[in-house]
Amino acid sequence: MCDSVVLVTGGAGFIGSNLVDALLERGYLVRVLDNLSTGKRSNLPDDPRVQLIVGDIADRDVVDDAVRGCVAVVHLAAVASVQASVEDPVGTNRTNLVGTIHVCEAMKKAGVKRIVFASSAAVYGNNGEGEAIDERTEKAPLTPYAADKLASEHYLQFFQRKDGIEPAIFRFFNIYGPRQDPSSPYSGVISIFAERAQRGIPIVVFGDGQQTRDFVFVGDLVHVLVQAVETTEVPEQPVNVGLNRSTTLNELLQAVGDVCGGLPAVHHEASRAGDIRHSRACNTLLLRHYRLHDPPVALREGLARLMGR
């Protein structure tokens, strides 16, 4: 058994717990730091190789203890809701930016170099409208959540220059898959649509449904994150994680209906503040440095896995 410990902040959440499973398969010991505000103990396996620390990423002492003795940190902990950041920008900043700075400071103290960081496609705002967004696209965060993610990227690069940490920064597009909680305000549109379709509850679409997203199955993302933990060198710039595929919400609804055998009533309401119209990743840089599953999980297959079909 490998005795190397990887810290996963937010590891009891949707993406984090899927990553924990993958790291265990690779032979790592896994330490999870999570305040369980959205993560769940039940997402984590009953395995002696997993240590759960229940604590806040904005608590410096807790973070120092969690980082100590690790070979790498995967920093996923965040208030991931755009709407929550609009309603509580100060609280969101405390978690999303201050928490990231605490992680970097703790790594410096502990001599840990590698950090894999979950940034977001939200940093681009509405730039790249109708085009595949590459990493050079102008940044135009529209919400406190997006601003905090972009600021965190800059802080990570500062600590890289100052203290030699090795940040692998990924701008996630729309990730979906098992353990995404449809009842949570932080949840993605796929899990909400799927849960409502399965229960026969009317589905609400904000806007006309022609807005597009680049959906990535969580297993494909996790495959990349594990590589970023293990690789000798990481890219010098942030990397998009997407499939370079556009799917409208209306197309998504059709796919959900195909998997479920039908849809309940669908109602359209006004678009929400901060919502982005179109988002599709240019993933050339991703494919240059990392391997995706060949082929990546297709949308209908991913929906079937999410819904246990």
Residue length, the chain? 309
Phi-psi category of 218—alpha, beta or left, where left has phi over 0 and alpha has psi -120 to 50? Answer: alpha
Cβ–Cβ under 8 Å, residues 207 and 168: no
Contact 123, 146 (CB under 8 A): yes
Q: What angle do CA 126, 129, 135 make, to 5 degrees?
A: 75
* Residue 22: other Cβ atoms inside 10 A: 17
225, 228, 230, 235 alpha-carbon torsion, rounded to 10°: 170
Query: Quick one: which of 178, 186, 180 has its CA closest to 219?
Result: 178
Instruction: Based on the residue annotation, tell me whether 290 is a catalytic residue of this protein.
Output: no
Q: Rg of the chain over CA atoms, in angstroms?
A: 19
- Determine whether 40 is exposed, middle or buried from the number of CB atoms within 10 Å of its CB (0-12, 13-18, 19+): middle
Tell the burial category of 302 from Cβ atoms under 10 Å away from its Cβ (0-12, 13-18, 19+): buried
Kindly state the tokens that stand for 35.
């305040």
The dihedral over CA atoms of 290, 49, 184, 202, expressed in degrees to the nearest 10, equals: 80
CA–CA distance, 128 with 137 (Å, rounded to integer) = 7
Catalytically annotated residue among 28, 145, 176, 290: 145
Q: Is the dihedral of CA 135, 6, 227, 223 positive or negative?
A: negative
Active site residues: 145
